[in-house]
Amino acid sequence: MRKRLKHKWTKWLLVAAAFFGFATVLIAGISSIGGTIVTLLLSWQSQTCQQQTDDSSGSINVSGYSKNVVSKAIALAEAVGADLRINPALVFAQINAETGLNPNDREIIDDNNFSGIKYSPSFASVATPGNISSEGDHYARFKSIGAYATIYRNTIKNMLGNTKPKTWREFVVTIKKGGYMGDNVDHYLSLGQDKYDHYKDFVKKYGNGKIKVSTGSNGSDDVDTANDGSNICPDTSSNDNSNYSGKWAWPFASIKGTPSSLDGGQYGHTSFSRGSTNFHDGFDFSNGLNGVHNGSAVLAVTSGKIYKVGYNGAAKYYIWEKAGDYNIIYQEGFSSKGDIHVKQGDTVKIGEKIGTITDTHVHLGITTNKKNPTMNQIGSPVANGFDHPDCWLNPIKVIEHGLGK
């Protein structure tokens, strides 16, 4: 009996040992696979953050810089700052923290690469494989400073999310919280603090008044000049009827007279704070006012051609129409691209249905190539919004002047 029990217990012990041995191997295997999956996910996330080519703002064109590395960095800071509506000094400080603006840095000289962005086949239209990194892979060799600025803009946009940091410390803390920086906050601050504090001095010394890009939201209090002294909105003609032309109509068929708006939705200075000022660069046609309701047809306010349909963090899904010198932006009223019924290149007639309102309001912005040249230079429908009143027209006055023509 004892022998049988002993034999039975021995067999069960062997089975248990085999089971636990198999479980150990299985867990190790799962851990290995899990580690691989995490590595792949992190790699994918890193590539996505670096390589996202956001249709929202299009390509950035940078010009007016010299061969000097600091001059190039200033041009980049001005362009990216303007597009993201942040102080360009923050961008300049970040570039310095990454590179030290070393004039002998081969990635800067050969690759037009100011932050060590690695090459990916998705960059084929704007870059080729460049210098070899210490990890053995290639840096991206960008075809131009503008090409780099476009990708770099997307990276910064991902880093900041919806925040608009006002100081260099806020900027660094934000990207640290987002997991985009391995360095500690104080050390990274020290790498860019001097460039942030003395940005205007660097602009004065290396800008030479030739860098033709605008500033972003830099607390300028409605001063429409770039840090290099150039005029952001060169056409400062008065916003009165004598400057308007063409036939215009309301964007909704239900509007029969001057439309009303919610507080803060009217054009001009409002009680609602935006950017560094309280200026609103368009008019909000709200869902629930003036006979407008969810599902109402959005109509072309004038005849023209659809220049672009896209998505922007500020504008959401938008339609960009061009009519002669005019640029007309319909934004924020579309929950999805499917709510937009036109595409790039389409010719539209005044009063033609171009979309369906499915969000809280349609923001209508109207400007001209002369008043806001930056929007065409950088391909952004929201360029110089909020902080630069001279860059935008009053949509209500423009439409009312052209009604019935």
Percent of the chain's residues with pLDDT above 70? 72
Q: Which residue has the higher pLDDT, 33 or 120?
A: 120
Is the Cβ–Cβ distance between 76 and 227 less than 8 Å?
A: no
DSSP letters spanning 371-388: T-THHHHHT-TTTTTTT-
Whether residue 241 is predicted with pLDDT greater than 60 in this model: the reply is no
Highest mean pLDDT among 28-37, 84-93, 212-221: 84-93
Least confident of 51-65, 76-90, 322-336, 361-375: 51-65
CATH superfamily of 268-403: Glucose Permease (Domain IIA) (2.70.70.10)
**Exposure on the CB side of residue 48, measured as CA atoms within 13 A:** 7
Is the Cβ–Cβ distance between 383 and 83 less than 8 Å?
A: yes
Nearest CA to 246 out of 354, 368, 74 is that of 368
Output the pLDDT for position 225.
39
**Exposure on the CB side of residue 280, measured as CA atoms within 13 A:** 20
Compute the average pLDDT of residues 384-399: 82
**In the 8-state DSSP scheme, what is residue 391?**
G
Does domain 41-206 correspond to CATH entry 1.10.530.10? Answer: yes
Compute the average pLDDT of residues 217-236: 41
Compute the average pLDDT of residues 91-108: 89
Whether residue 89 is predicted with pLDDT greater than 50 in this model: the reply is yes
Output the pLDDT for position 25.
44
* Per-residue pLDDT reduced to its tens digit, 6-50: 444 455 545 555 555 554 444 444 333 333 332 233 232 333 333
* Per-residue pLDDT reduced to its tens digit, 330-363: 999 999 999 999 999 999 999 999 999 999 999 9
Contacts of 265 (CB under 8 A, 6+ apart): 280, 283, 284, 286, 361
Least confident of 259-263, 270-274, 305-309: 270-274
Answering whether pTM is above 0.85, one says no
Contacts of 344 (CB under 8 A, 6+ apart): 306, 307, 308, 309
| CA dihedral over 271, 276, 281, 283, signed as positive or negative | negative
Q: Which residue has the higher pLDDT, 217 or 6?
A: 6
Helices 145-160 and 69-84: angle between axes, nearest 10 degrees: 50
Output the pLDDT for position 42.
28
Least confident of 163-177, 179-193, 222-236, 285-299: 222-236
Contacts of 397 (CB under 8 A, 6+ apart): 239, 240, 241, 244
Compute the average pLDDT of residues 205-220: 46
Output the pLDDT for position 387.
57
How far apart CA 236 and CA 216 sit, in angstroms, is 19
Output the pLDDT for position 20.
52
Q: CA-CA distances (angstroms) from residue 171 to 46, 213, 230, 317?
A: 19, 22, 27, 27
Domain coordinates in residue numbering, the chain:
41-206, 268-403
Least confident of 79-83, 150-154, 209-213, 266-270: 209-213
Is the Cβ–Cβ distance between 290 and 283 less than 8 Å?
A: no
The chain-wide mean pLDDT, for the chain, equals 76
How far apart CA 325 and CA 315 sit, in angstroms, is 21
Nearest CA to 279 out of 336, 220, 228, 342 is that of 220
In the block, tokens 């987002």 appear at 178
pLDDT band at 234 (very low <50, low <70, confident <90, very high): low
DSSP letters spanning 112-167: --SS-PBP-GGGTTTEEEEEEPTTSSEEEEESSHHHHHHHHHHHHHHHHTT---SS
Kindly state the tokens that stand for 2. 């004892």
